Structure 1
Amino acid sequence: MTITEDHLVSSIAEALQFISYYHPADFVAAMADAWAREESPSAKEAIRQILVNSRMAAVGKRPLCQDTGSVNVFLEVGVEAPTAWRRSVQEMADEAARRAYLLEANPLRASVVSDPLGARRNTGDNTPAMIQTELVAGDRVSVTVSAKGGGSENKTKFAVLNPSDSVADWVVDTVKTLGAGWCPPGIIGLGVGGSVDKAMAMAKKVLNDPIDITDLRARGARSAEEELRLELVDRLNALGIGAQGLGGLTTVLDVKVATFPTHAASLPVALIPNCAATRHVHFTLDGSGPATFTPPSLSAWPEIGAGDAAGRPLDLDNLDEATLASLAPGDTLLLSGHLFTGRDAAHRRMVDALGRGDPLPVDLAGRAIYYVGPVDPVGDEVIGPAGPTTSTRMDKFTRPLLEGTGLKLMIGKAERGPAAIEAIRDNGAVYLIAVGGAAYLVSKAIKAAKPVAYQDLGMEAIYAIRVEDMPVTVAVDMRGASIHTLGPARWARAG
C-alpha cells in the first residue's frame, strides 16, 4: 500500500475543518471540571460561555473562535514509509490549508499576511502552513494538525537561563506578565534544553499532548519533568488570574513539558500558551487511504444549560454620561443597539485621517466600537463567529480616537495598558470585554451586519452591526478602575 499525496492533503484538509468546530474531548472534560470547581462568579460565567459555545460549534459545525488560527502541521515520516510524493511537504500542506479555509460550507477566517515587514497583505487562503518534519523509524506517517490563534501565539516567551536558575520561578514570573490576551484558562507548553530553535519547537509540539494532570497528580511524579508540571500547575493557578483574567481559581488546565540535552553553559526555556480555543488532532497514514475522524459524543459536554447570560440591559443608542458613570468593574451587561467594528488596521487608518484633519467614514460620537474580525457568514447567518480580539493592540490608538471622535465604549478582550486606561479615564469612556473563546455564541447576539468602510481590509473592515443582549463585562470604568487588577488581586493565594 502506498501513501499518496492525496492521502496527506485530504487528511490535513479534513483535520483542519474538524478541529475548527470540535474541541478535543480531554479539553472539554478539563474545562467542565474547572467550571464545577470555580468559585469566582465572573470566571465561572466565562467558563460557562466557553463550554456553551463549544457545544454550539460542535452541533452547528461552525468555528469555535473567529480566529481560526495559523495552520501548524507536525509530521513524523517513517524512513520506510511507502510514499509516492513528488511535491514538497510545504506544497501539500498549503494545498490542504487552501481547501479547508475556502470550503464553502464552513469557510474559515484567513489571517495570514505576506510580506511581514512591508504591506502585510492577507494571503486570502491562510497559507502558508507552518511545518515541522522529522524522519523517524518505521513505515508510517504520523501527523498532528493544530490551528494556533494569534492571541496566545503573541504571548510566547523565550529565555536562556543560567544552569543554576529555577525554571519554575521563571515560568511563574513570566505568566504574571502575560495578562489575559492568551485567553485563559488554557495550557502552557514548555520546551527546556536543546538550543533556541529546539526549545521553541518542543514547546509548540508538546501543547498537543493529552491533558492528564489529574491522573498525574493521582499517581505521583516519576521524573523531574513531571515534578515540574505538578509544581507549576499549583503555582500558576495560585496567581488568581482566572478565566479571561477576571480573577478565579483556574488559570491553567495543564502544563506540558518537553526536554532535550543542552550545552553545559545553557538552560534554554521556551514558553508557549494555548488558549481556550485549543484545537488539534492526530492521525496516522499507512497507505490504506485518507484519515477519518470520529466526532466526540455530545454527552462529553456538561449539562450546564445554554440559557442566555444574565445581566443589566444597556442601550447602545443612548449612552449618556450618567449611564456610563453608573458602570463598575465586574458588572455584567447585555448590550442592545448599534455599534461599529474595528481592529488594528482600521484604527491606524482612522487615526491617520484624524491627524490629517480628514473626516472619518463613520461617526463614532457617543458610540461603541467592537474589536473583532469575524468569520464570513454562511447560509442565513448575519455574520460568522465574531469573538473579540486582544485589546492591547489598540492601546496606542486609544487616546487620539477618543479625543478626536467622542467615542464612549470599547469592547474587546483582556486588559488595557496604563496609557489606554489613562485615556479612558480622561475622556469619560468605558472599556468592556466579551469572552474570548465564545465567538459562535457571541455571533448569535448580532442581528444585522454590513461593511461600511475600508472593505479592502477584508475581515478587518469596519462593519456597522446591531446587537440584542450581547453579553459583556465591565473591565475599565470611567474612573480608570480595572477588573484585570482587582479580580486577580482578590483571588490570588499563597502557592
Structure 2
Amino acid sequence: MTVIRQEDFIASVAGALQYISYYHPVHYITSLAAAYEKEQSHAAKDAMAQILINSRMCAEGHRPICQDTGIVNVFLKVGMDVRFDSELDLQAMCDEGVRRAYLDPDNKLRGSILADPAGARKNTRDNTPSVVNVELVRGNTVDITVAAKGGGSEAKSKFVMLNPSDSVVEWVLKTVPTMGAGWCPPGMLGIGIGGTAEKAMLLAKRSLMDDIDIQQLIARGPKNRAEELRIELYDKVNRLGIGAQGLGGLTTVLDVKVLDSPCHAANLPVAMIPNCAATRHAHFVLDGSGPVYLDPPSLEDWPRLTYDVSKARPVNLNTVTRAEAESWKPGEVLLLSGKLLTGRDAAHKRMTDILNRGEKLPVDFKDRFIYYVGPVDPVREEVVGPAGPTTATRMDKFTRQMLAETGLLGMVGKAERGPTAIEAIREFGAVYLMAVGGAAYLVSKAIRGSKLLAFEDLGMEAIYEFDVENMPVTVAVDSKGTSVHNTGPAEWQQRIAGVPILQ
C-alpha cells in the first residue's frame, strides 16, 4: 500500500499553483502563436501579440499571467490502495496548498474568494477554499490536476436541458455570441453532454484540462460522434467572426473539447464552459516517493515579439479635454500617460450609495478616467503587481449615474459594453477604452506610481490613483456610441463566410 504524506501533498499542490500562475501550457502558446501568424484582423492580431508578449514576460519574471489568479479547482483520482499519513482531510490539504501558494512572498497571488457570497462577501484573503472533486479509482497513486479558473471566463458558463431531438450545435452557435468577450477569447470551449445537470457541468470543466490538439484531430479525422462535434463546432464557432478579445477576426476558439456521458431518455443536458487567455492547469501524480515539482518549459517555444506602438496616439490624462476625446476613432490605439483612477464592482456600489444619499464622493472624477482593475499585490521593486482589466459590463448598471453626476470622461476595462452603457456614453459624450485581458503583467509595466485614495477596506477593489506611462488601450466605444465589439465581429463574420478556415 502506498503512503502519501501530508506535507508531500501540500507542497506539490502549492508548487503546481505557483507554476501555473506564470507558465502557460506550451500547447496553448504554440496554438496561439499559430493563430497569430494567420490572423488578418489588425485589432485581433494586436491583442494576440500583447497576450503572447505578456506570457513570455511572466515566464521570465515569474509573475502572474493575469491579475485574476483564479478560483482553484482540484481534480483528484485517489487509488484505493493508497493511505494518507495526514492529520488533515483532502479538502483541508488542498486548501493548505492553495494558502501556501497564494501567500508566497516571492510571487504573491491575488485573493479573489469571498465568503458569505449572498451576504457580506468578505474576502478570505488567502484564496481558500478551493473546489475539490474526488474519484476513488483502482491503483496505488494519487492523480492530481490543479487549475486556476478566472472569474471572467467562469462567469460565461452556460447550461441548458435540451429536448432529445434538439441540436447541440445550434444551441452552441446561438449561445456563444451572447457570452460577449469577457472570457477573453481566443481560448477553449469545454462542452459536457449527458448525465444529469451537475454531471454535464463537471464534464465540461474536466474537458478543459486536456491539451489543445484540434489540428491533430482534423488531420487524422474523427473516430466518434464527440470528435465529430469538436471539429464541427471549432469550424462554425470561428466562422462567427468574434475574434480575439471580441474585436473581430479569424480565431475565436483555439479548440473545442467535448465529453459525454449516458443520460435519461427524456433529457439532453448540455453544459458549456469557456477557458480564457489565462489558461492555467497542471497535472502530476503522487506515488509515495515524495513531493512532485514540475519542470519549467523551454522558452524557445515562446515567440519573440515586440509591441509596435509607433502608430498609436499619445494621450496626456492630466490635460485631456472632451473635445480631444471626441476626435478619437473606434479601433484607434492610444497610449495613456498621467493620472488614472481605479475602481471596480465594490467601489462603484459604494460610490452610487453615497451619491444616492446626496453626499460628496471622496474622489473628484470630473474629466477623469477610471480603470476597472483589481491588481495583484506588488513584490520586490514593483509599484503594483499584474494589473489587467476586469470585465466592463459588470459596471454597466453604474455607468449612467457616474457619467451624469460625477463628470467622468472615460472608462478603461475589458471586453464590450452593453446597450445601456453605450447609450449613456453617447448621451454624455464620454468614451470607453479597452485594455487587453490576459496581458496583466505587460500592462503593469506602464504603471509608474500608485496611491490609495479611498475605500481601503475593499483591498484590491479600493480606489487608487495610478501614474501611468504609455499604457496601450483601444477606443472600444467612441463619444458617438460606436462600439468596435459590434462592428468588428459583424465585419469579420461576413469576410469569413465561404472561406476555409479549419487549418
1:280 Cα offset (Å): 0.4
Q: Does the 8 A contact of 2:69 with 2:109 survive in 1?
A: yes
1:2 Cα offset (Å): 1.9
Partner secondary structure for residue 108 of structure 2: coil
Q: Does the 8 A contact of 1:309 with 1:471 survive in 2?
A: no
1:107 Cα offset (Å): 0.4
1:436 Cα offset (Å): 0.1
1:494 aligned to 2:489? no
Aligned to 2:294: 293
Q: Separation in 2 of the partners of 1:103 and 1:450?
A: 24
Aligned to 2:344: 343
Structure-2-length-normalised TM-score: 0.97
Q: Separation in 2 of the partners of 1:67 and 1:24?
A: 17
Q: Does the 8 A contact of 1:55 with 1:301 survive in 2?
A: yes
- 1:200-211 to 2 correspondences below 5 Å: 200-211=201-212
In structure 2, relative to structure 1, the CA distance for the partners of 1:395 and 1:90 (3 Å cut) is same
- 1:83-232 to 2 correspondences below 5 Å: 83-232=84-233
Q: Does the 8 A contact of 1:313 with 1:336 survive in 2?
A: yes
1:303 Cα offset (Å): 2.7
Deviation digits for residues 55-89 of structure 1, max 9, x if unmatched?
00000000000000001100000111243234211
Partner secondary structure for residue 350 of structure 2: helix
Query: Post-superposition, which runs of at least 4 consecutive aligned residues in structure 1 deviate over 6 A?
Result: none
Aligned to 1:244: 245
Q: Does the 8 A contact of 1:64 with 1:277 survive in 2?
A: yes
In structure 2, relative to structure 1, the CA distance for the partners of 1:414 and 1:306 (3 Å cut) is closer
1:339 Cα offset (Å): 1.2
In structure 2, relative to structure 1, the CA distance for the partners of 1:212 and 1:468 (3 Å cut) is same
Provide structure 1 residue ranges, at least 5 long, that are not aligned to the other structure.
none
1:81 aligned to 2:72? no
Partner secondary structure for residue 313 of structure 1: strand
Q: Separation in 2 of the partners of 1:310 and 1:145?
A: 41
Deviates more, 1:73-82 or 1:123-132: 73-82
Q: Separation in 2 of the partners of 1:178 and 1:494?
A: 21
| Corresponding letter in the other structure for 2:331 | G
1:254 Cα offset (Å): 0.2
The size of the alignment, in residue pairs, is 495
Aligned to 1:364: 365
1:42 Cα offset (Å): 0.5
| Corresponding letter in the other structure for 1:58 | A
Partner secondary structure for residue 2 of structure 1: strand
1:464 aligned to 2:469? no
Partner secondary structure for residue 244 of structure 1: helix
Deviation digits for residues 92-137 of structure 1, max 9, x if unmatched?
1111111011111110000000001110000010000001100011
- 1:311-460 to 2 correspondences below 5 Å: 311-460=312-461
1:320 Cα offset (Å): 1.4
Q: Does the 8 A contact of 1:82 with 1:287 survive in 2?
A: no
Aligned to 1:475: 476
Aligned to 2:501: none
| Corresponding letter in the other structure for 1:299 | E
Partner secondary structure for residue 469 of structure 2: strand
Q: Does the 8 A contact of 2:53 with 2:304 survive in 1?
A: no
Q: Separation in 2 of the partners of 1:279 and 1:81?
A: 28
Q: Separation in 2 of the partners of 1:258 and 1:241?
A: 24
Aligned to 2:26: 25
Partner secondary structure for residue 122 of structure 2: coil
Q: Separation in 1 of the partners of 2:8 and 2:175?
A: 41
The percent of aligned pairs where both chains have the same amino acid is 61
Q: Separation in 2 of the partners of 1:37 and 1:51?
A: 15
Q: Separation in 2 of the partners of 1:307 and 1:380?
A: 26
Partner secondary structure for residue 63 of structure 1: coil
Q: Separation in 2 of the partners of 1:171 and 1:54?
A: 29
- 1:49-60 to 2 correspondences below 5 Å: 49-60=50-61
What is the CA RMSD across the aligned residues, in angstroms? 1.0
Q: Separation in 2 of the partners of 1:86 and 1:150?
A: 32
Partner secondary structure for residue 315 of structure 2: strand
In structure 2, relative to structure 1, the CA distance for the partners of 1:310 and 1:143 (3 Å cut) is farther
Provide structure 2 residue ranges, at least 5 long, that are not aligned to the other structure.
499-503
Q: Separation in 1 of the partners of 2:190 and 2:264?
A: 21
1:308 Cα offset (Å): 5.2
Partner secondary structure for residue 30 of structure 2: helix
Q: Separation in 1 of the partners of 2:389 and 2:310?
A: 17
Partner secondary structure for residue 126 of structure 1: coil
| Corresponding letter in the other structure for 2:231 | L
Q: Does the 8 A contact of 2:322 with 2:367 survive in 1?
A: no
Q: Does the 8 A contact of 1:398 with 1:420 survive in 2?
A: yes
Q: Separation in 2 of the partners of 1:166 and 1:466?
A: 51
Q: Separation in 2 of the partners of 1:318 and 1:306?
A: 26
Deviation digits for residues 249-275 of structure 1, max 9, x if unmatched?
000000001000000110000100000
Deviation digits for residues 10-58 of structure 1, max 9, x if unmatched?
1101111000000000000011001001000000010000000000000
| Corresponding letter in the other structure for 1:494 | A
